[in-house]
């Protein structure tokens, strides 16, 4: 297979300078937990070192323990040393000076020390500072924390970030949604899905809507199937309790993969405003057909039940492959093939649009010869595979691939997903966050699978999962691995 790689050194550009956020007090619930450690605190430090935080800001960590400000700063330093960018003494000193900790927990009956610490923070950055609450806690804690924000007058005018999953069943989603809207207006709510913050996920709609050559082929007449494939080498040792209560379907399918499918499938929005982008994404989710359990394969990697913290008879799925259908004129009859799993042979995040085989003299060419794909990992990359005549005296065809690494575009300043999304929260931009109407539709799509779970297949670690998943693909082959 011939391969070429090219990046444009002087791309046409159309940019708008982002407004600078105003004074902000950022409250991080679950500040000493795993999510804060791995994602939120490193992202916040990156924002600080990139000059993307407001001139006046303060970060207040919250937790049950009675932790001194100095001890919290030491904890954050340790976290950033392990998971963050390289610490520079001068940058760390400036960052650490803005860290505070409010212990004693926080609930409707007892705010602990949070009210006092927020009041002190506002003395430093301004009494009118924007409050941003980030709930980096398990979903079971969302309802009480939300009620407590209202009870202690911390909800008025605030922005509140909810981690996924926003509910772990249709019933829990509806209950949580009622509680949230009893305290907050919808425009205050930021339901985060970090796959929407990925550079290449955003480029799915930019490439299509900004380039007529792709928009013209973005339909059932030209696309045979769409594969959204997120295999993972990683296991679940560091989050066994959480994972055993959710599994691949709840952790990945009804959150990340459905949202990426919507990014691929949505109709052109009226504009690139937050409201119009959200509306286009949620509208197409409303056209997702309910999953057929006969078109879903579930798996569990061998040895899963031996992991500390996992029940000895656990039936939790660590793998899911599913066929999603979309009932509209653009996509009717085109399978969206979604796959993800733990302890697989490779780690990738790829969206592939497989074009239909041509008519005429090349009608018999091998399938998967013409593919437009997007790597969602890292800074993102666009790959295009086409059939070409191999140079020489004969007429032999070969597949040629050209790649565009997005991070190599001139002037590129890619942001990791959590950095981008937290920055959008600071700016009040909700375009990359989910809405309740879309989430309600997602739960309806998943209900048949949740009520009638297919057989659970065992698969070897380091494999590509249960062989039964091949039957979901019309051509019998996933682009990755099989």
The residue ranges of DSSP E strands in 20-75, in sequence order, are: 24-29, 57-62
Domains of the chain as residue ranges with CATH: 24-163 (3.40.50.720), 195-415+434-472 (3.30.360.10)
Burial (Cβ within 10 Å: 0-12, 13-18, ≥19) of residue 127: exposed
Phi, psi of 309 (to 5 degrees): 95, -5
User: Treating both helix axes as pointing N-terminal to C-terminal, what angle do 436-451 and 170-183 enclose, rounded to 10 degrees?
Assistant: 160
Q: What pLDDT sits at residue 363? A: 60
Predicted confidence at residue 3, as pLDDT, reads 46
**Residue 64 annotated in ligand binding:** yes
For the chain, give the percent of residues with pLDDT over 70: 94
104 token code pair: 């004693």
What confidence score (pLDDT) does residue 200 get?
Answer: 77
Q: Could you tell me where the DSSP H helices lie in 127-270?
A: 142-151, 170-183, 199-210, 212-215, 240-244, 247-248, 258-265
Token digits of residue 442: 């997602």
- The pTM for the full model equals 0.86
**Segments of the chain scoring below 70 in pLDDT:** 1-19, 360-368, 412, 482
Sequence-separated (6 or more) residues with CB below 8 Å from residue 51: none
Q: Does 31 show up as a binding residue in the annotation?
A: yes
**267 is known to lie in a ligand binding site:** no
Q: What is the mean pLDDT of the chain?
A: 89
Identify which of 181, 223, 461, 417 has the alpha carbon closest to the alpha carbon of residue 335.
223
How far is 403 from 475, CA to CA, in rounded Å?
Answer: 24
- To the question of whether residue 342 is assigned a binding role by annotation, the answer is yes
> Which residue is it, tokens 């509806």?
174
| Confidence (pLDDT) at 88 | 94
Contacts of 227 by beta carbon, 8 Å cutoff, 6+ apart? 337, 339, 350, 351, 352, 354, 473, 478, 479, 480
Q: Which residues participate in catalysis according to the annotation?
A: 256
- The 10 Å Cβ neighbour count of residue 17 is 5
Query: What does the pLDDT read at residue 117?
Result: 97
């Amino acid at each position: 297979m011939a391969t070429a790689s090219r990046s444009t050194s002087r791309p046409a550009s159309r940019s708008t300078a982002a407004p600078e956020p105003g004074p902000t007090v950022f409250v991080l619930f679950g500040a000493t937990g795993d999510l804060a450690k791995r994602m939120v605190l490193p992202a916040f430090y990156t924002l600080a070192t990139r000059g993307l935080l407001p001139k006046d800001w303060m970060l207040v960590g919250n937790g049950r323990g009675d932790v001194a400000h100095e001890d919290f700063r030491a904890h954050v330093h340790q976290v950033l040393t392990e998971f963050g960018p390289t610490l520079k003494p001068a940058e760390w000193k400036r960052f650490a000076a803005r860290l505070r900790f409010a212990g004693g927990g926080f609930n409707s009956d007892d705010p602990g020390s949070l009210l006092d610490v927020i009041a002190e923070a506002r003395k430093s950055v301004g009494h009118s500072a924007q409050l941003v609450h980030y709930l980096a806690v398990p979903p079971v804690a969302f309802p009480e924390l939300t009620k407590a924000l209202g009870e202690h007058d911390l909800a008025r005018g605030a922005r509140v970030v909810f981690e996924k999953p926003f509910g772990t069943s249709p019933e829990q989603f509806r209950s949580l949604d009622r509680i949230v809207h009893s305290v907050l207006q919808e425009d205050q709510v930021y339901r985060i899905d970090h796959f929407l913050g990925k550079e290449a996920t955003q480029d799915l709609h930019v490439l299509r809507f900004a380039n007529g050559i792709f928009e013209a082929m973005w339909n059932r007449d030209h696309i045979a199937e769409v594969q959204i494939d997120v295999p993972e080498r990683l296991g679940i040792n560091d989050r066994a309790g959480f994972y055993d209560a959710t599994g691949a379907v709840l952790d990945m399918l009804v959150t990340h993969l459905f949202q990426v499918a919507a990014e691929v499938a949505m109709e052109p929005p009226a504009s690139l405003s937050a409201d119009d982008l959200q509306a286009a994404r949620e509208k197409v989710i409303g056209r997702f057909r309910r999953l057929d359990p006969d078109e879903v394969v579930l798996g569990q990697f061998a040895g899963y039940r031996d992991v500390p913290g996992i029940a000895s008879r656990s039936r939790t799925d660590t793998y899911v492959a599913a066929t999603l259908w979309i009932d509209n004129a653009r996509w009717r009859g085109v399978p969206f093939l979604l796959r993800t799993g733990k302890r697989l042979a490779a780690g990738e995040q790829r969206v592939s649009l497989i074009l239909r085989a041509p008519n005429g003299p090349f009608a018999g060419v091998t399938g998967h010869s013409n593919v437009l794909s997007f790597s969602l990992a890292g800074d993102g990359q666009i790959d295009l595979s086409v059939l070409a005549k191999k140079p020489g005296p004969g007429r032999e065809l070969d597949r040629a691939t050209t790649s565009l690494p997005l991070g190599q575009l001139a002037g590129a300043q890619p942001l990791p997903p959590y950095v981008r999304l937290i920055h959008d929260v600071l700016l009040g931009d909700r375009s990359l966050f989910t809405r309740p109407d879309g989430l309600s539709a997602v739960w309806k799509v998943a209900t048949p699978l949740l009520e009638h779970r297919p057989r659970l297949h065992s698969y070897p670690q380091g494999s590509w999962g249960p062989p039964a998943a091949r039957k979901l693909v019309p051509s019998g082959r996933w682009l990755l691995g099989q």
